[in-house]
Structure 1
Amino acid sequence: MSLLAHLPALQVAVPLIAAPIVAMVGRRRFAYGVLTLVSLAIFASAILLTRQVLDTGPISYAMGSWPAPIGIEYRIDLLTCLALLLVSGIAAICAPYAPASIDAEIEPKRIPAFVAMYLLAISGLSGMVATGDAFNIYVFIEITSLSTYALVAMGRDRRALSAAFQYLVIGTIGATFILIGIGLIYMMTGTLNIADLAARLPAVEGNRVVVAAFAFLVIGLAIKIALFPLHVWLPNAYAFAPSLVSAFQAATATKVGIYVLLRFVVSVFGASYAFDAMPLGWTLIPFAVVAMFAGSLVAIFQVDLKRLFAYSSVAQIGYIMLGLALGTQAGLSAALIHLINHGLIKAALFLALGLIAVRLGGTRLDHIQGLGRTMPVTAAAMVIGGLSLIGVPLTSGFISKWYLVTATIEAGMWPLAVLVMASSLLAVIYVWRLVEMMYFRDPVEGAAEACTGRSNPWLAWPAWTAAALCIYFGIDTRATAGLAELAARALTGGA
């Protein structure tokens, strides 16, 4: 059997095996080399898997040659490919950024351990996406969570430790809910394979145990994706983590959580059960709408840019969940499109903030005064990210908002379309604050000297690449909207 046939397993196994090797070798340069090679390899693997799925349909990979549902199955379909492309693509964008960023923020003796934890986080997110086994989803959630708690705690701010502890406590509660939900559906069906669960659950879906399992899973995953008001762990985790962790986590972690929620809601329980037998749509819509407004309102008053964009993420998660809550193919397409686009937007913004933190010593608003003159290209990258958050035409954010507004109108819920547009105007306020500080204020004392000379290109290029992709995918939507619509159609049983 060729190596290409093992790509589903290698997508998870390569970073998982690389992590302990990096930790044992304990060499900084070796760790950076492995991280770069692994990130590029899994991105290439994700592209190959996507092409294969588009050509031949979903891939079923039996671990150890044990057939499902007895053995563990990795199942790669279009939705899986979309999430794998996001995780591995962001990892590849962040890879050249990692050495300079880590050297500036992490003690040299802790760097191998940091890189090992980062590789575990990549492996865990990839595993959550690729596996076709419900219990394995929980296992990979724990791998991702434990490694991320450690990564957040390694931030140079003393508050990083308390942020990691808060994240750990709330994340453990969410994981416990998820485990209980999986245990209950296993008790009722006797299987953990996702495809097998989908076939067996209809026979027992009227049972109260199944209702309880559904509730536990939705609430547990709502904590993991930071859906308002279960988002309290997110602002501090983003604000006090090292820059590389903030960028990678903001772009991928909550998005993969939404992927898992979609998997359980649509693939396991079924859209008819979730949105007809259970009032999931009408339950989620109020929380999504409040998130859209509350996240942006709180962001307006933040003085630390990491916290500002963290609260912005709460609002953007509201948009994604609103699309999901519509329970229609168009709504699901809109949710998936914004899931990808928002990942790129947040990567561009947090990578730019990391460059600012290294050169200017922080990410408060006063650090970016006059940035348009001292670091013009970095300032431009932040403006592009901000315009995408608003949804300005020719940016990827506009495509997301257009699909979401169209989906709400098609569902006959035009007041929601008005609320989407009204909440987007709140983003104008905090984005304008950035523009004002960068282009209409004089640099603070010492900022011009700190920015003298060329910046490290390995710190700068990833942010510019992500910002350029925000423009590109606002013009050519084949790779985002095209794949998302195909995935939504396949997920809802379309052709």
Structure 2
Amino acid sequence: MMENLPALIVIVPLMGAVLCPIICYFNRNIGKWLTTCAMTASLMMSIIQLKQIIKNGEIHYWFGNWKPPYGIEFALDSLNGVIVVLICIMGLISTIYSMPFFDGFSRFKTAGYYSILSLLVTGLLGMSSTGDVFNLYVFLEITSLSGYTLIAMGGDKGALSAFRYLLIGTIGASFYLLGVAFIYGETGTLNMADMAGLVGPVLGSGTTMVALVFFVVGFGIKMALFPLHGWQPAAYTNAHPGAAPVIAGIMGKVPAYAMLRFFYFVFNANKELVGDFMLVVGTMAAAGMIYGSVKALQQKDMRSMLAYSSIAQMGYIGIGIAMGDLYGLIGAVLHIIVHSFMKGGLFFCVGAIQYKYGVTRLGQLGQLQKKMPITVAVMVLCSLSMVGIPPLAGFFSKWDLAIGAATAGEYIYIAVLIVSSLLNAIYFFRLFEHIFMDPEPVREEIHPELKRELPWRMMIPISLCGVGVIVLGVCNVWFVNVLSSVIMGVTQ
């Protein structure tokens, strides 16, 4: 069984997605817990897999025992091994967190939501694990279609936001697929490792240059990199509150990982050419850091504020990828991990406030700490981590990015990091001001039968995110050591 872990980690949540509607037809609650058990099994297997990678090195899994480049391969190292664990964690806690939102709902709606959420996790796991560029497209489409549906389940505004994302996301996927077609025409292979060995002599060709442009645009749209972010603010704001944490927390990060994988593990044979494209990515990312932070300052709704904040945070990841040195890439990957907990935790808290009071505007949060102390505590922790206050996790990813920028002589990135962090502090401290300083408004509880702050199924994910930003900060050296063993190979 152990030799089949890479496939099982993806197949188990897929089977949960298939079986959930059938089980929900007979018992809605058993269907929800079935998907939870599937997510739990994938998480346990992903942790075992990561331990094997750290101990024994890379894992290569050939489907049907067909060797690449003819067969489909899952190729896992410590870089995507960590990403796979992260996806499983966010998928599991989002599955548990969503349960109270569907208490009393129809079997059809419950089955649809949990099946689609499992498909989203399946797609993200496949994107992170695959070593085949076309197989990545297949999983990208599974992820996108699931994301469209979960956003549409947020209501009328969610349906409109999903339609906008559908239009823009289809363009992004088409650009990626065109890039795959062009690069396949030049190399004759779809396997990433095989392509990396064949792409060197053709990197300067016009066809390859066009493919690289398509990859930048395709991945840029999917990760909401400025100015290709048009779908993102409305999608994050209007998504179903149970799914918003996993959409905002991890869905945009996996395309960022894919961009890093493509440009540094496949195309790094010509570092000068890659550097030219990364200069464009870095410029887009730096502009997005300022744009997203300024737009977040202008918002009156917590969800919109966090959505625009995510544009800025994707900029942090973008400049790390653009720098291309050891600390820059480590900072980018570390920020993927820590931002998933920070932003996921904040959206968990916002969804909890929606569940309890049905409010999301900043002016309606006065004295919230008296009614929801744990939720507010986690909001404060995640917000301070976003600003970059030590010893929370966000400080260390920003610190690595700053070291990478200084090492590469990219001092403009350091300036943008500082300005963006200061803007982060302004809008998050404004959030604190509304919570702690505003008078308590009239708020009617939607679930007055609750005898405690929130159902335990919501409290556990919220609390885990709060603990996560502390643990990731304290234990950041371990993550750096695990990641550096792989990243050093493409930066030397």
Q: TM-score, normalised by structure 1?
A: 0.95
Given the superposition, is the C-alpha separation of residues 275 and 10 from structure 1 closer, same or farther in structure 2, using an over 3 Å criterion? farther
Distance 2:106 2:362 in 1: 26
Is the contact made by 1:101 and 1:459 (CA closer than 8 Å) also made in structure 2? no
Query: Is 77-86 or 480-489 further displaced after alignment?
Result: 480-489
Is the contact made by 1:352 and 1:460 (CA closer than 8 Å) also made in structure 2? no
- Once the two structures are TM-superposed, the CA of residue 188 in structure 1 deviates from its matched residue by 1.2
One of 198, 214, 217 as aligned partner of 1:216: 214
Unaligned 5+ runs, structure 2: none
- Once the two structures are TM-superposed, the CA of residue 449 in structure 1 deviates from its matched residue by 9.4
2:199 match: secondary structure: helix
In the alignment of these two chains, the number of paired residues is 488
Is the contact made by 1:374 and 1:448 (CA closer than 8 Å) also made in structure 2? no
- Once the two structures are TM-superposed, the CA of residue 491 in structure 1 deviates from its matched residue by 4.3
Is the contact made by 1:369 and 1:438 (CA closer than 8 Å) also made in structure 2? yes
- Counterpart residue number, 1:113: 112
Is the contact made by 2:341 and 2:465 (CA closer than 8 Å) also made in structure 1? yes
Distance 2:101 2:257 in 1: 29
Counterparts of 1:331-346 in structure 2, within 5 Å, are 331-346=328-343
> Structure 1: which amino acid aligns with 2:169?
G
Is the contact made by 1:8 and 1:61 (CA closer than 8 Å) also made in structure 2? yes
Is the contact made by 1:373 and 1:439 (CA closer than 8 Å) also made in structure 2? no
- Once the two structures are TM-superposed, the CA of residue 107 in structure 1 deviates from its matched residue by 5.2
Given the superposition, is the C-alpha separation of residues 209 and 11 from structure 1 closer, same or farther in structure 2, using an over 3 Å criterion? same
- Counterpart residue number, 1:328: 325
Is the contact made by 1:360 and 1:367 (CA closer than 8 Å) also made in structure 2? no
2:252 match: secondary structure: helix
1:285 correspondence with 2:271: no
Distance 1:71 1:38 in 2: 27
Distance 2:177 2:192 in 1: 15
- Counterpart residue number, 2:20: 22
Distance 2:458 2:361 in 1: 19
Distance 1:453 1:365 in 2: 25
- Once the two structures are TM-superposed, the CA of residue 74 in structure 1 deviates from its matched residue by 0.7
- Once the two structures are TM-superposed, the CA of residue 414 in structure 1 deviates from its matched residue by 2.4
1:207 correspondence with 2:205: yes
One of 365, 368, 383 as aligned partner of 1:368: 365
Distance 1:479 1:143 in 2: 33
- Once the two structures are TM-superposed, the CA of residue 316 in structure 1 deviates from its matched residue by 0.5
- Counterpart residue number, 1:168: 166
Given the superposition, is the C-alpha separation of residues 326 and 152 from structure 1 closer, same or farther in structure 2, using an over 3 Å criterion? same
- Counterpart residue number, 1:381: 378
> Structure 2: which amino acid aligns with 1:41?
A
Counterparts of 1:417-428 in structure 2, within 5 Å, are 417-428=414-425
- Once the two structures are TM-superposed, the CA of residue 154 in structure 1 deviates from its matched residue by 1.0
Distance 2:259 2:433 in 1: 39
Is the contact made by 1:226 and 1:314 (CA closer than 8 Å) also made in structure 2? yes
Distance 1:135 1:482 in 2: 31
Distance 1:35 1:274 in 2: 44
- Once the two structures are TM-superposed, the CA of residue 17 in structure 1 deviates from its matched residue by 1.9
What whole-Å deviation, never above 9, does each CA across 1:435-462 have from its counterpart, x for those lacking one? Answer: 0111111221135897773021211221
- Once the two structures are TM-superposed, the CA of residue 127 in structure 1 deviates from its matched residue by 0.3
Given the superposition, is the C-alpha separation of residues 39 and 275 from structure 1 closer, same or farther in structure 2, using an over 3 Å criterion? farther
- Counterpart residue number, 2:35: 35
Query: Is 440-449 or 261-270 further displaced after alignment?
Result: 440-449
Q: TM-score, normalised by structure 2?
A: 0.96
- Counterpart residue number, 1:146: 145
Unaligned 5+ runs, structure 1: none
- Counterpart residue number, 1:66: 66
> Structure 1: which amino acid aligns with 2:296?
A
> Structure 2: which amino acid aligns with 1:125?
L
- Counterpart residue number, 1:400: 397
2:270 match: secondary structure: helix
> Structure 2: which amino acid aligns with 1:179?
L
Given the superposition, is the C-alpha separation of residues 266 and 450 from structure 1 closer, same or farther in structure 2, using an over 3 Å criterion? same
1:410 correspondence with 2:407: yes
1:32 match: secondary structure: helix
- Once the two structures are TM-superposed, the CA of residue 278 in structure 1 deviates from its matched residue by 5.4
Is the contact made by 2:357 and 2:445 (CA closer than 8 Å) also made in structure 1? no
> Structure 1: which amino acid aligns with 2:170?
T
Distance 2:39 2:118 in 1: 9
Is the contact made by 2:367 and 2:437 (CA closer than 8 Å) also made in structure 1? yes
> Structure 1: which amino acid aligns with 2:47?
I
1:302 match: secondary structure: coil
Query: Is 356-365 or 20-29 further displaced after alignment?
Result: 20-29
Is the contact made by 2:345 and 2:379 (CA closer than 8 Å) also made in structure 1? yes
Distance 1:266 1:365 in 2: 42
Distance 1:34 1:490 in 2: 41
> Structure 1: which amino acid aligns with 2:341?
L
Distance 2:271 2:85 in 1: 27
Given the superposition, is the C-alpha separation of residues 97 and 337 from structure 1 closer, same or farther in structure 2, using an over 3 Å criterion? same
Distance 2:440 2:272 in 1: 53
- Counterpart residue number, 1:467: 466
- Once the two structures are TM-superposed, the CA of residue 479 in structure 1 deviates from its matched residue by 4.1
> Structure 2: which amino acid aligns with 1:480?
F
Distance 2:433 2:373 in 1: 14
Is the contact made by 2:232 and 2:307 (CA closer than 8 Å) also made in structure 1? yes
Distance 2:6 2:372 in 1: 42
- Once the two structures are TM-superposed, the CA of residue 65 in structure 1 deviates from its matched residue by 1.0
Aligned CA RMSD, in angstroms, stands at: 1.7
Query: Is 90-99 or 428-437 further displaced after alignment?
Result: 90-99
> Structure 2: which amino acid aligns with 1:182?
V
> Structure 2: which amino acid aligns with 1:227?
L
Distance 2:103 2:292 in 1: 32
Query: Is 17-26 or 248-257 further displaced after alignment?
Result: 17-26
- Once the two structures are TM-superposed, the CA of residue 429 in structure 1 deviates from its matched residue by 1.1
